[in-house]
């Protein structure tokens, strides 16, 4: 164990001196020879994080290498949300926003109360003019931490832009999953329920009449009578409109 401790001590000193590549050579060799040693594994992951943070610094700009370093952590711990998030940050700095969003989303899947990915997703949407979308992500970050200063300032800024540019609030997204479930299992559905799910006005019957013509449905008072043979075609039509 003395040899391991000596090598770890040497690697720690190299890490403290920011000589990360040399420290990594020692650490990777130790991991290779002692894969079950938890002390080595912990040091190796801590070293990779320190190196990745160093590379992601905007004065260093080692972003491409940072994606590799955080990727090494993910290889060891596939659900390490911090490594996944920081790999996203590297892509963010390289302006590869699609990749950044992918990694931020994955970090949120693993840890829904992690405020930083929401904030950065807000920055991305703000940068491409999706101001209301950006606002929703800042709000999510602030639900987790109401005192998150970066998100507070970003939210104020984006609200000013919305007011200044007089950007209208987008139409609410319609979730048709419940309607699909109802139509698939029912022979008759109350028309008012369909209108409510699709955000139609009570007197807006044109959509229902169109369904009757296209899919051989019938209206019986307040109910739509479903032709089960044509339900798959209706669902395809709904998905093409609302997805």
Lookup result for tokens 């698939």: 184
For residue 74, CA distances in Å to 93, 178, 222 come to 19, 37, 56
Mean pLDDT to the nearest integer, 228-235 = 89
Nearest to 219 by CA among 241, 188, 193, 242: 188
Q: Is the pLDDT of residue 243 over 60?
A: no
Task: Please state, in angstroms and rounded to a whole number, the distance separating the CA atoms of residues 90 and 61.
Answer: 9
Q: Which helix (H) or strand (E) holds 124?
A: helix 115-127
85-111 pLDDT, tens digit per residue, is: 999 999 999 999 999 999 999 999 999
Q: Which helix (H) or strand (E) holds 219?
A: strand 218-220
SS3 at position 82 = helix
Task: Please state, in angstroms and rounded to a whole number, the distance separating the CA atoms of residues 214 and 227.
Answer: 11
5-64 pLDDT, tens digit per residue, is: 999 999 999 999 999 999 999 999 999 999 889 999 999 999 999 999 999 998 899 999
Band of residue 225 on the pLDDT scale cut at 50, 70, 90: very high
164-214 pLDDT, tens digit per residue, is: 988 887 666 677 788 888 888 889 998 888 888 888 777 778 888 989 998
Domain 113-170 class? mainly alpha
Q: What is the pLDDT of residue 118?
A: 96
Domains 1-94 and 113-170 share a fold: yes
Provide the CATH number for the domain formed by 1-94 in this structure. Answer: 1.25.40.10
The DSSP code for 223 is: E
Burial of 45-81, coded b for 16+ CB within 10 Å and e otherwise, reads bebbbbbbebbbeeeeebbebbbebbebbbeeeeebb
The answer to whether 179 and 204 are in contact (CB under 8 A) is no
The answer to whether 30 and 4 are in contact (CB under 8 A) is yes
Band of residue 240 on the pLDDT scale cut at 50, 70, 90: low
Least confident of 45-54, 66-75, 85-94, 228-237: 228-237
Nearest to 146 by CA among 175, 171, 115: 115
Q: How many helices and strands (H and E) does the chain possess?
A: 13, 3
Q: Is the pLDDT of residue 1 over 80?
A: no
132-154 pLDDT, tens digit per residue, is: 999 999 999 999 999 999 999 99
For residue 191, CA distances in Å to 106, 173, 199, 207 come to 39, 20, 12, 10
Domain ranges of the chain: 1-94, 113-170, 177-242
More confident call, 177 vs 122: 122
């Amino acid at each position: 164990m003395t040899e391991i401790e000596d090598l770890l001590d040497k690697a720690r000193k190299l890490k403290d001196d920011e000589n990360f590549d040399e420290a990594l050579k020692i650490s990777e060799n130790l991991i290779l020879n002692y894969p079950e040693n938890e002390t080595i594994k912990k040091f190796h992951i801590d070293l990779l994080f320190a190196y990745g943070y160093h590379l992601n610094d905007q004065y260093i700009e080692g972003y491409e290498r940072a994606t590799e370093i955080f990727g090494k952590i993910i290889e060891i711990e596939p659900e390490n949300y911090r490594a996944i998030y920081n790999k996203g940050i590297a892509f963010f700095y390289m302006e590869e926003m699609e990749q950044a969003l992918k990694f931020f989303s994955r970090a949120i899947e693993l840890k829904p109360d992690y405020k930083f990915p929401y904030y950065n997703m807000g920055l991305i949407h703000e940068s491409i003019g999706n101001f209301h979308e950006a606002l929703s992500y800042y709000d999510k970050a602030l639900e987790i931490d109401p005192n998150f200063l970066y998100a507070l300032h970003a939210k104020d800024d984006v609200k000013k832009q919305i007011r200044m540019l007089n950007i209208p609030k987008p139409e609410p997204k319609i979730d048709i999953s419940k309607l699909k479930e109802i139509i698939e299992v029912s022979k008759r559905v109350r028309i008012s329920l369909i209108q409510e799910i699709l955000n139609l006005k009570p007197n807006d019957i044109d959509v229902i009449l169109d369904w009757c013509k296209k899919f051989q449905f019938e209206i019986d008072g307040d109910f739509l009578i479903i032709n089960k043979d044509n339900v798959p075609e209706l669902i395809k039509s709904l998905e093409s409109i609302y997805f």
